[in-house]
């Protein structure tokens, strides 16, 4: 029960900021269905494989990952990651999973060219060759999704926009193209950015949040008591309940502080020469921010290595919704 409630407290696709609130509300059925379906699958697994003590082992990292990918892919492209194939082609579904898995694997892979560009031609380990193959496969996959969406729109001009690709096609057609890029490039790049920024990071965060709760039983008890008070035990949490779950929100914030999904953040590159703290930084320089270190700075956080959600219950100390860094 706590698991289902924790899942509902995390806005899994909130990273889709280009979508309006009304658009997210229209896609609410995707989140609700996938969460309920995944919990039902765990219950089915428990019934079939529980041991003499009524227990069953579940790899939660994998479970969170598959749940989140199903939500994100259905929201962005109307596609499945696990379960029954959306188009009945099980082989294509299997290929899709493997391609996306490789994509996430190589997305964080460090290669020699990153630090020493002049060694790029060596392609040590053959990683760049594999990356190019995966990139080509992803491009073909998303191109097929675009073609399917355009055909669907062609059959019926009044077709409801059911996912993000539908929205992107309409936006690009209505507002014209960005100089130097064609419509397909804009749509494909935006959709893949949404998938990569929404899926893995949320899965990592959920895994850490659950681990922290299980290893801090007093915090777990407080979270359960808040849920029992504001939601009760007769139904799952709804997104409308979130405004009342102040302590559970603090648990999520504290989990993000201690274990940010990307502890160096996303790499940035300076678009022009600039000066920072007296140092000249040339255009093109990569910027990596050590968020893990900042989140544990003893000058800012008391007991920086301790799991204390209570620190986020006092906005005067840390206002994460305002301008307080």
Number of domains in the chain: 2
Query: Dmax of the chain from CA atoms?
Result: 66
Q: Are residues 206 and 116 in the same domain?
A: yes
Whether 127 is in a domain gets the answer yes
The stretch 35-51 carries a mean pLDDT of 91
Assess if residue 98 is contained within a domain: yes
Q: Does residue 267 share a domain with residue 178?
A: no
Note the pLDDT tens digit of each residue in 85-119.
Answer: 666 677 888 888 888 888 888 777 777 777 777 77
Is there a single domain that holds both residue 129 and residue 40? yes
The pLDDT score that the predictor gives to residue 94 is 83
CATH number at 74 reads 1.10.630.10
Within a domain: residue 244?
no
On whether both 55 and 169 belong to a single domain, the answer is yes
Residue 324: inside a domain = yes
* Domain coverage including residue 114: 2-216
Give the whole-angstrom CA distance, residue 247 versus residue 252: 9
In this structure, are 186 and 310 located in the same domain? no
Q: Is residue 221 part of a domain?
A: no
Question: Residue 214: is its pLDDT beyond 80?
Answer: yes
Q: In the chain, how many H helices and how many E strands?
A: 12, 4
- pLDDT (tens digit, 9 = 90+) per residue, 113-160? 777 777 777 777 788 888 888 888 888 888 998 888 888 876 665 555
Which residues make beta-bridge pairs with 281? 274
From first CA to last CA, the distance across the chain in angstroms is 35
Tokens of 232: 């009760």
**pLDDT, position 246:** 92
pLDDT digits (tens, 9 = 90+) for 216-238: 999 999 999 999 999 998 888 88
Closest to 254 measured CA to CA, from 222, 301, 214: 301
Contact (Cβ atoms closer than 8 angstroms) between residue 172 and residue 186: yes
Reported as type and span, the H/E element at residue 43 is helix 28-49
- Note the pLDDT of residue 252: 92
Give the pLDDT score at 160. 59
CA distances from 112 to 103, 124, 315, 317 (A): 18, 7, 45, 43
What is the C-alpha separation between 207 and 258, in angstroms, rounded? Answer: 13
Tell me if 237 is assigned to some domain. no
Pair 206, 268 in one domain: no
Kindly report the backbone phi and psi dihedral angles of residue 275, in degrees, each rounded to the nearest multiple of 5, phi listed first: -125, 125
User: Quick one: 172 and 32 in the same domain?
Assistant: yes
Same domain, 267 and 198: no
> Is residue 89 one of the residues assigned to a domain?
yes
> Do residues 12 and 110 both lie within one domain?
yes
Rg over CA atoms, the chain: 22
167 plus 288 within the same structural domain: no
Same domain, 123 and 267: no
Continuous segment of H or E residues that includes residue 269: strand 268-269
Asked, for residue 285, whether it belongs to a domain, the answer is yes
- Listed residues 198, 216, 234: the one ending a domain: 216
> Cα separation of 300 and 318, whole Å?
9
DSSP states of 218-240: HHHHHHHHHHHHHT-SSS---GG
Q: Let me know whether 304 and 165 are in one domain.
A: no
């Amino acid at each position: 029960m706590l698991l289902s409630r924790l899942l509902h407290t995390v806005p899994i696709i909130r990273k889709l900021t280009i979508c309006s609130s009304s658009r997210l509300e229209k896609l609410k059925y995707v989140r609700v269905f996938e969460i309920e379906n995944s919990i039902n699958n765990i219950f089915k697994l428990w019934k079939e494989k529980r041991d003499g003590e009524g227990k069953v082992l579940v790899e939660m990292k994998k479970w969170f990952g598959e749940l989140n990918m199903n939500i994100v892919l259905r929201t962005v492209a109307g596609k499945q990651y696990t379960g029954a194939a959306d188009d009945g082609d099980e082989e294509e579904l299997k290929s899709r999973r493997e391609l996306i898995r490789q994509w996430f694997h190589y997305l964080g892979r460090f290669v020699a060219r990153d630090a020493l560009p002049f060694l790029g031609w060596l392609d040590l380990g053959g990683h760049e060759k594999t990356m190019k193959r995966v990139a080509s496969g992803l491009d073909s996959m998303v191109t097929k999704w675009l073609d399917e969406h355009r055909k669907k729109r062609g059959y019926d001009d009044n077709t409801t926009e059911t996912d993000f690709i539908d929205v992107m096609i309409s936006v690009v057609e209505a507002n014209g193209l960005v100089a130097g890029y064609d419509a397909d490039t804009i749509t494909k790049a935006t959709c893949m950015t949404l998938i990569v920024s929404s899926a893995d990071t949320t899965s990592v965060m959920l895994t850490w949040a659950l681990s922290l709760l299980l290893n801090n039983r007093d915090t777990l008890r407080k979270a359960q008591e808040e849920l029992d008070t504001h939601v009760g035990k007769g139904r799952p949490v709804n997104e409308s309940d979130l405004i009342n779950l102040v302590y559970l929100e603090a648990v999520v914030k504290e989990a993000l502080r201690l274990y940010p999904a990307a502890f160096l953040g996303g790499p940035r590159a300076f678009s022009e020469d600039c000066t920072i703290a007296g140092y000249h930084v040339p255009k093109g320089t990569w910027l990596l921010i050590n968020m893990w270190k900042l989140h544990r700075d003893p000058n800012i956080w008391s007991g920086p290595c301790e799991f204390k959600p209570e620190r986020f219950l006092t906005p005067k100390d840390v206002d994460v919704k305002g301008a307080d860094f």
